[in-house]
A and B are shown apart, each in its own frame.
Chain A
C-alpha cells in the first residue's frame, strides 16, 4: 500500500493528472487511510455549491400584479414615472376615489408624470379649507377630502399634481374638467363649487358624495332588472342634459357613478334584493362624476388634449369608435354605448367585454359581439336585453340617437308599454346576416384575438382546427359562456395529451367531468368527456409487472420479450410479457450485479463479485466461469450469444470482447482498441459489429471479427450518451449530451428515411432504447421517460418518475417497455396507435367504402382499368376484381345502402348499364339504362331505387327490385352535379350550374319546384315532404310540398328530424365552417380558418361527425363541437368512413387504408374513471393518484399554486419541489 499522499498528489488525483497505475494505488490508499481521505475531501470541498444550486432552480414567475407594474416601465427610453411617494396622506379605506380621474385599467394617453418637486411629503395648505385626508389619486391629480370652512361643509378638493402645472396639456384638461362640470347643474351630476389656485397649483372644489360607487355595489352580482332600468334611466337623462350643453363624458362606467347614501352600502345588495321592484333614489342617489376626459363639443379650436388616434377611456365600457381612436366620431352615441355597458353590467354582474389585458378587451370591443344578457342571467326581460344590445351596437348610427331616446325606451319598459327599438328576433336575424356578410373575416379576427389572449402554449397545426371553434361560437345565440369555457378547457387537456402528457390531460378531463356532474344540463358534456377520456386512456401504457424486490439489473430477450431480472435477494426472475413471473434456478447465482441475455434468451451472462458466469439458462447449465473478472463496469451480450462485450479499464483499452469457445468451455478476451472516451455502445443485429459512441462526439462502427476494422460514421459536437441500433440497422438512434436525439445513417444498408432530430430532454445524459417500426424510448436527467414516434418526431407518452432511470429496454415489436429505476423493475405494455393498415399495392383513382360494412372498392388504372373489391376479415383481405371488358369504362360506383352490393355504372360506347356486384365479385343485377353518356348515379336511402344522370339532360329512375328503368328529359339543366334522392325514392333534388329543380316521380313525373340558383347541397326529411337546401351564397332555404319555398329565418322546419338537427358543410378546403340548423336558427359550430377539411361524414346515429383533414381523421361531437379523442393520423387522407357496424373507423389515401378501432363511450363517473386509470397505470407508480390525476394547472402548464414572495429576510429561497 502507498504511504500517505501529499497535497500535490491529491490534487493530481483530483485533476486526473495521475497515471492509471498510480491512480489505482492512490484510490486504494484513500479507501484505507482516513487522514488522506479527510485531506482529499478538504481539497475538494465546493463552498459555492448552494449558490450554484439556487442558480440552477427554475425562477418562480413574477406575480401578475408585479409583472403588470414592471411592464409599465419597459417603454424605454421616453417614459418617466410618478414618484409621489408618501407625499400625501393615504386614501381612505384603501380605495381610489373616482374623482382621481383614472384608475389602473384606464387607458389614458398621458401617463407621463415627471419627477416630483421638492415639496413632497406634505399635505397642501389651501386657504379656506381644512384638508382631512386623501380620497384617491390618478395620473394627473389627487383628490382630498376637505372641510370648506366658510360653509362648514365637506367637499372633495381635486388638485393637479405638484410639478404638472407647467404641462399645458394637463393644465388644459384640468380646466376642461372644471369648465365641463361648471356648466352642469343636475341632481344626478356631481356639482362644482369653486375653482382656485394656490402656489401655482390649480384645484377645484366639488360636491362631496358620501358612500361608494356603483362598481363597488355590483361587485360581480347582478342587480334585478327593474331597479337597473330605473337607475339607468336616471343616468341617461342626466347625460342627455350634459349632451345638450355640449359635453360628452367619454369615461362613463360604474366606477364613475357615485351612490349618495349614508354608509349603508354594506347592506346595499340585500336592500336591492329585498325591494327588487324599485330603485330607492332617496337612499341611493346616483351622481355621475369624473369629467376628466370630457369632450367639449362646442370647442372647435380645441388644441387637442386628445388628438385623433388617441385612445382614452376604460376599455370595458369604451365604444368601438373610441377604442379605435376615431375622435371625430365621438359624440353622444359614445356615451349611449357606455350607458348600455353599465346596464349590461348591472344586469349580468360583468361588463360586456372583459379580456385578459386591456388590449384584449379593446380587441373584443372592436371585433366581437357581446353575449346576450339573457344567456348569462335568464331572468333578464327580453325587452331590456333588446334595449341593452341596441346601445352596444358597433355602428354609432345604429344605437339610440340620444341618451333621451334611451331613457324614454327604458321608461316604456318600466311602464309595461312596447319599446320602440326592434325586437330580439330581428336582431338575431341581423346577426345572421352580419355573419354572412362579414363571414369568415369576423370569425377569423376574433379567433386570432382569442387565441392570442387565451393560449400561451404552442399553436401547432393540428391544434388550429378545434381551438378556433371556441371563439367562433362565442357570439352565437345558442351557446353559453360556460360551454365555451368547457370547450377551451377540454381543448387544453387534449393539447396536453397530444404533447404526450396524457396522464395530466386525462386528469384534467376527469376533473371537468366531476364539474359537469354537478350540472343538471350537462348530459352532452358528460358524454363528450367520457368519450374523450376513453379514447385517450387507450393510449396509456398498461403496467403488467412491478417487482416486489429491488432489482439490480435486467435484460430482455429479443425473441419472446421475456424480461430477466436479478434482484438484491440473489434471485433471478423471468417476467413474461403478460406479467407472470417465475424464478430461475441457476448454479452459482450469488451476488450478480450485471446481467445480459442473448436474442434467443438461451445464453445468460452475469457478473458478480465472484467473477463472470455464463449459463445456458434453458438447460440450467453453467457453461463458463471467469472468477477473476471483477472490475467490469458494463456488460452486453451479442444477439447471437457468442460474444460478450464488457467494459474494463485495462492496458489502455476500455472495451473488451469475450468470445466463448463451446468445445473448451472457455472464454477468449480480445481488446477492442477503444480508449476511455467510449461512453455507450450497441450490437448490430447480425452480431458482427458494434456501434460505439464517444464522449468526444465520435460514433464509429467496429467489426467484432477484425477489431482493427473500424469506420467513423459521424462526429457530433456534443458527447454521445446513448445509442440504439434497431433492425435493420440502416440507421442508428443517437442521444447527445445536449438532450437531443439524432438519427444517423450507420452504413449498415441504404438509409431510406431522413428523420429530423428530436429535442427530447434538458441538456444532460440521455439513455435510449428502440423497437418496433419507429418507436424510441428515452430517459434524461429530468427523470422523465418519453416514448417517441421516430418518423413523426412526436412524443406519444411521457412518464415522470421519482428517481433517475438506470436502464430501459424496449421489445423488438415495440410493445413492451421495461424500466429499472432506484432498484424497481417495471414492465409496461404500450398501446398501438394504428390498429390495422391495408396497403393497396397500386394507386387507386377512387375509393368507396361500404357504409358500416367491411368491404371497400377501388378504381385502379393498373395493370388495366378495373374495379377491385376488397373484403376484410380477421386474417386478411379477400380481393376480387370485376371482369370488365377492355372497351368498357367505369363511370361511377357506389355501395348500395342497406346492402353489401356495389353498384357500378358501366359505359360501353354510347350505352350504359347499371350493374350490381356482391362482395365476392359475383354479379347480382344488370340494368340497361339506354342511350346517352351517363356520368353519375345515386341510390335512394333504402337502396331500392337509383337515379342516373346522362349528359345533364336525361334522368333515369331505376327500380332495382323490379329491374325497370324509366327516363325523363330535364332540358333546363346541363351537367347535373347534385343528386339527392328522398327516402321515398320518388322525390329527387337536382342541381346544376343553371339552377335547381325538385321532381316527383309518380305515374307522370312532374317538376314541383325550380330555381335559377344552383345549390350546394340539400337534405330531405324522413317523410320526404320537406327539404332544407343551401345555395352558393350560404343562404339556407326550406321547401315543403305544402308551403313551397320559405326562407329559413322566417319559419322553422316542421318535421322534427330537420328542425332538431341538421349538419352542413358549406365550404371544403381551408376556411371551412360547420353549421347547425337548430330549431330554425343557424348556429356556427366550428370554424377552421387554416386547416384543410377534406370530407365530412354526417352522423347516421348519435352526434358523431367524422371528418378527414390533410393530416388525419378527427371525430367531432356535434352536441358540444368538441373533438373526441386523438387525431387519427394519416397523411394525405382523402376520406374516412365508419366500417364494421360502427366498430371501426377507416381512413384512406390513394395507396393505403388504415383502420382504427372505435367503441361507443362507456359512461362512467369521474371517480370510476379515476380508479380505472389507477388500475391501469399501477397505483404504486401513481403514488398519489388523486393529486397526479386531478392536479390543477394553468394553460401554460405551470402549477396553479400561487407563488409567494420571498420573505423579507431571504432574498431567494429554494423550494424542494422546484428541483
Chain B
C-alpha cells in the first residue's frame, strides 16, 4: 500500500501543489460521481470544473476561520457551490430545464454528492493513518492484524501461520483496530 499524504487543513489549499492533490482526489470523485449520474465525460468535466471553481470562491470567503476543520468545511463549501451552480443552471425558470439539469437539481443528487465526498475524505484519512500506526505497533501484533484484516485471511489461518492461538490473533486485531479508530477520531477532532 502506498501511504497517502495527510489531507491538508483547508487553509493550506491555497498552496498550488495541495490544490492539485485536492483536485486529484475530490475532483476525481466528482467526475466519477457525475458520470455515474448519467453525464457524459464532457459534461462531467464541465460540472466538476464549475464545482471546483465555486469551491475555491467559497473557500476564499471562509479561509480566515482558524477553527475550520476539513470535513465540515468540505461539506459546507460543496453545499454552497452546489447551490450556486444549480441556480445558474436553472436560470430564471422561464425556460424548460434540460433533462440533465433536472437530474442534477435534486435533493437526492445533492445529498449523494456530499456523501461520496465525505466518504472519500474519511477514506483518505484512513490511508494516512495506517502507516503511522504500523510504525508504532509491535511487529507481531501488526502482522496478525495485517494478515487477518488487511489481507483478509481468517484468524485461525493467521494463527497457524504465526504459530500462536487464534484468540491471540483476535486480541491483536482488536488492539490495533482500536488504535486505528482512536487515531481517526483524533484526526477528525483536530482537522
B 82-107 to A, binary, CB cutoff 8 A, 1 in contact else 0: 00010011111001111111001000
A600 shortest CB reach to chain B, Å: 28
Contact A15 to B126, CB < 8 A, known contacts A70-B31, A120-B88: no
Bound complex: CA of A784 vs CA of B56, how far in Å? 45
Measured between beta carbons, the chain B residues less than 8 angstroms from A266 are: none
Say whether A85 contacts B43, CB under 8 Å: yes
User: B58 an interface residue at 8 Å Cβ cutoff?
Assistant: no
User: B152 an interface residue at 8 Å Cβ cutoff?
Assistant: yes
A 667-682 to B, binary, CB cutoff 8 A, 1 in contact else 0: 0000000000001000
User: B110 an interface residue at 8 Å Cβ cutoff?
Assistant: no
Measured between beta carbons, the chain A residues less than 8 angstroms from B167 are: 27, 30, 37, 40
A86 contact from B16, B100, B140, Cβ within 8 A: B100
Contact A46 to B126, CB < 8 A, known contacts A86-B43, A121-B91, A804-B147: no
User: A6 an interface residue at 8 Å Cβ cutoff?
Assistant: no
Say whether B46 contacts A76, CB under 8 Å: no
User: B116 an interface residue at 8 Å Cβ cutoff?
Assistant: yes
B99 contact from A52, A86, A122, A719, Cβ within 8 A: A86
Measured between beta carbons, the chain A residues less than 8 angstroms from B147 are: 804
Residue of chain B at shortest CB distance from A783: B151
Bound complex: CA of A655 vs CA of B48, how far in Å? 61
Say whether A737 contacts B24, CB under 8 Å: no
Measured between beta carbons, the chain A residues less than 8 angstroms from B111 are: none
Contact A73 to B27, CB < 8 A, known contacts A40-B167, A679-B140: yes
Contact A76 to B20, CB < 8 A, known contacts A49-B177, A55-B126: yes
Which of A408-416, A504-512, A758-766, A833-841 is near enough to bind chain B?
Answer: A758-766
A24 shortest CB reach to chain B, Å: 11
Say whether A52 contacts B180, CB under 8 Å: yes
User: A1205 an interface residue at 8 Å Cβ cutoff?
Assistant: yes
Measured between beta carbons, the chain B residues less than 8 angstroms from A14 are: 171, 174-175
Say whether A73 contacts B142, CB under 8 Å: no
Bound complex: CA of A52 vs CA of B48, how far in Å? 28
A 42-57 to B, binary, CB cutoff 8 A, 1 in contact else 0: 0111101101111111
Bound complex: CA of A121 vs CA of B104, how far in Å? 13
A683 shortest CB reach to chain B, Å: 21
Say whether B23 contacts A53, CB under 8 Å: no
Say whether A51 contacts B126, CB under 8 Å: yes
Say whether A55 contacts B127, CB under 8 Å: yes
Q: Which of B13, B24, B27, B152 has the most CB of A within 10 A?
A: B27
Which residues of A61-119 have CB atoms within 8 Å of chain B's CB atoms?
Answer: 62, 65-66, 69-70, 72-77, 79-87, 115-119
A211 shortest CB reach to chain B, Å: 23
Say whether A85 contacts B89, CB under 8 Å: yes
B135 contact from A15, A763, A1208, A1212, Cβ within 8 A: A763
User: B134 an interface residue at 8 Å Cβ cutoff?
Assistant: yes
Residue of chain A at shortest CB distance from B2: A58
B144 shortest CB reach to chain A, Å: 10
Say whether B52 contacts A73, CB under 8 Å: yes
User: A13 an interface residue at 8 Å Cβ cutoff?
Assistant: yes
Bound complex: CA of A121 vs CA of B39, how far in Å? 14
A104 shortest CB reach to chain B, Å: 9
A 1152-1167 to B, binary, CB cutoff 8 A, 1 in contact else 0: 0000000000000000
B100 shortest CB reach to chain A, Å: 4
Say whether B130 contacts A56, CB under 8 Å: yes
Which residues of B127-177 have CB atoms within 8 Å of chain A's CB atoms?
Answer: 127, 130-131, 134-135, 138-140, 142-143, 146-147, 149-152, 161, 163, 165, 167, 170-171, 173-175, 177
Residue of chain A at shortest CB distance from B35: A1205
Measured between beta carbons, the chain B residues less than 8 angstroms from A806 are: 161
User: B76 an interface residue at 8 Å Cβ cutoff?
Assistant: no
Measured between beta carbons, the chain B residues less than 8 angstroms from A84 are: 46
Residue of chain A at shortest CB distance from B168: A27
A73 contact from B49, B152, B163, Cβ within 8 A: B49
A119 contact from B35, B91, B101, Cβ within 8 A: B91
B 54-97 to A, binary, CB cutoff 8 A, 1 in contact else 0: 00100000000000000000000000000001001111100111
Residue of chain B at shortest CB distance from A594: B163
Measured between beta carbons, the chain B residues less than 8 angstroms from A55 are: 123, 126-127, 130
Residue of chain A at shortest CB distance from B1: A56
Bound complex: CA of A49 vs CA of B20, how far in Å? 30
Say whether B175 contacts A15, CB under 8 Å: yes
Residue of chain A at shortest CB distance from B33: A1211
Say whether A48 contacts B177, CB under 8 Å: yes
Bound complex: CA of A738 vs CA of B136, how far in Å? 10
Say whether B49 contacts A82, CB under 8 Å: yes
A85 contact from B27, B47, B92, B126, Cβ within 8 A: B47
Which residues of B6-60 have CB atoms within 8 Å of chain A's CB atoms?
Answer: 13-14, 16, 19-20, 23-24, 27-28, 31-32, 35-37, 39, 41, 43-50, 52-53, 56
Contact A721 to B139, CB < 8 A, known contacts A764-B134, A764-B146: yes
Measured between beta carbons, the chain B residues less than 8 angstroms from A721 are: 139
Q: Provide the main secondary structure of the chain B interface.
A: helix
Say whether B53 contacts A115, CB under 8 Å: yes
B188 shortest CB reach to chain A, Å: 14
Which residues of A114-164 have CB atoms within 8 Å of chain B's CB atoms?
Answer: 115-122
Bound complex: CA of A721 vs CA of B135, how far in Å? 13
Measured between beta carbons, the chain A residues less than 8 angstroms from B23 are: 70, 73-74, 76
Measured between beta carbons, the chain A residues less than 8 angstroms from B49 are: 72-73, 80-83
Measured between beta carbons, the chain B residues less than 8 angstroms from A765 are: 139-140, 142-143
Bound complex: CA of A184 vs CA of B164, how far in Å? 87
Contact A62 to B149, CB < 8 A, known contacts A79-B53, A679-B140: no
A62 contact from B24, B95, B131, B180, Cβ within 8 A: B24
Residue of chain B at shortest CB distance from A53: B150
Contact A52 to B150, CB < 8 A, known contacts A76-B56, A804-B161: yes
Measured between beta carbons, the chain B residues less than 8 angstroms from A122 are: 95-96
User: A781 an interface residue at 8 Å Cβ cutoff?
Assistant: yes
Bound complex: CA of A43 vs CA of B119, how far in Å? 27
Contact A52 to B100, CB < 8 A, known contacts A62-B28, A115-B53, A1219-B152: no
Bound complex: CA of A43 vs CA of B171, how far in Å? 9
Measured between beta carbons, the chain B residues less than 8 angstroms from A27 are: 165, 167
Contact A764 to B142, CB < 8 A, known contacts A55-B123, A737-B135: yes
User: A41 an interface residue at 8 Å Cβ cutoff?
Assistant: yes
B174 contact from A43, A633, A763, Cβ within 8 A: A43
A1065 shortest CB reach to chain B, Å: 44
Say whether B173 contacts A44, CB under 8 Å: yes
Say whether B88 contacts A121, CB under 8 Å: no
Say whether B171 contacts A120, CB under 8 Å: no
Say whether B96 contacts A44, CB under 8 Å: no
User: A718 an interface residue at 8 Å Cβ cutoff?
Assistant: yes
Bound complex: CA of A37 vs CA of B155, how far in Å? 14
Say whether B165 contacts A53, CB under 8 Å: no
User: A21 an interface residue at 8 Å Cβ cutoff?
Assistant: no
Residue of chain A at shortest CB distance from B84: A115
Measured between beta carbons, the chain B residues less than 8 angstroms from A1208 are: 36-37
Measured between beta carbons, the chain B residues less than 8 angstroms from A76 are: 13-14, 16, 19-20, 23, 56
- Closest 10 pairs between A and B when the two form their complex, measured CB to CB: A81-B49, A55-B126, A83-B50, A86-B100, A118-B91, A76-B19, A1208-B36, A86-B98, A44-B174, A46-B177
Q: 7 new A-B pairs (CB below 8 Å) besides A49-B149, A49-B173, A56-B1?
A: A51-B126, A70-B48, A86-B100, A118-B88, A120-B91, A721-B139, A1207-B36
A-B contact pairs, 29 of them (CB 8 A): A13-B171, A16-B171, A41-B170, A48-B181, A49-B173, A52-B150, A55-B130, A56-B1, A56-B127, A56-B150, A59-B127, A72-B45, A73-B49, A75-B16, A76-B20, A76-B23, A77-B56, A81-B53, A84-B46, A85-B50, A86-B97, A86-B100, A115-B53, A118-B90, A119-B95, A695-B138, A695-B140, A806-B161, A1212-B123
Residues on A close to B: CB < 8 A? 13-16, 27, 30-31, 37, 40-41, 43-46, 48-49, 51-59, 62, 65-66, 69-70, 72-77, 79-87, 115-122, 633, 679, 695, 718-719, 721, 737-738, 762-765, 781, 804, 806, 1205-1208, 1211-1212, 1219
